[in-house]
Amino acid sequence: MNPVNDLLFLVFPEICAVCGTGLWKYEEVICTSCNFHLPKTNFHLDKKNQVCRAFWGRVPIENAGAYLYFNKGSKVQRLIHQLKYKGRKDIGIYLGKQYGNYLITMPEFQQINYIVPVPLHRKKLKLRGYNQSESFAEGLSLSMKIPVDTSSFIRTISTQTQTRKSRFKRWENVSEIFLVANSETLENKHILLVDDVITTGATIESCVATLLKVSGIKISVAAIAFTRS
């Protein structure tokens, strides 16, 4: 027992990122009740899940999954909003650790060499202070024991937000905006490409199309959430 920590907890209790109630000492970021009721997809158990099917006929990937379902006005939207716009990097790390505990049990995700977050352009990174997809990658790395690579794959053009864009406009907005900065590191490697939310898959499709220029590369995909159609 640490009396100083106990006193700080009483005066400045940490609160659940979903419901705002105080967290118990054994809880982290999200309370037990909210965590239990989060809409988990269990896509890692199905090789023909909705994320995989979203890329069929578009770009070749090895495996794909998302931890949660995303719906407007939902608890998941609240979490993503705080992660992206309220400085709650800890939410991404926490969700990454939770999802990594699932993925590491599956043989198809045990051969990953690097975790690669979808990069932000340097202007947006400077404005936001961090890349929300990178925080998710950090959490995955902690539970899966796989290194994160943030230097081999970069975004060269700053684009407008994807919110409210049609599927074609989303694809057009991110077409040819990425660059492999260090192909030697990724040659003949299996990478896990990660993003926060997959809606139409346009951003991931553009990333994969660019990464496939690397010799021998294999690409799997993971996201915090997938927009339920």
Per-residue pLDDT, averaged over 119-146, amounts to 94
- The confidence band for 64, taking pLDDT boundaries of 50, 70 and 90, is very high
Q: Where do the domains of the chain lie?
A: 1-37, 39-227
In this predicted structure, the answer to whether residue 221 has a pLDDT above a threshold of 60 is yes
CATH class as words, domain 39-227: alpha beta
pLDDT of residue 160: 55
Mind giving me the DSSP string for the chain?
A: --HHHHHHHHHS--B-TTT-PBPPTT-BSB-HHHHHHS-B--GGG-TT-HHHHHTTTTS--S-EEEEEEE-TTSHHHHHHHHHHHS--HHHHHHHHHHHHHHHTTSGGGTT--EEEEPPPPHHHHHHHSS-HHHHHHHHHHHHHT--B--SSEEE-S-----TT--HHHHHHHHTT-EEES-HHHHTT-EEEEEEEEESSSHHHHHHHHHHTTSTT-EEEEEEEEEE--
Q: What is the mean pLDDT of the chain?
A: 89
- Is the pTM higher than 0.85? The answer reads yes
- The confidence band for 164, taking pLDDT boundaries of 50, 70 and 90, is low
Q: pLDDT (tens digit, 9 = 90+) per residue, 9-42?
A: 444 469 999 999 999 989 999 999 999 999 999 9
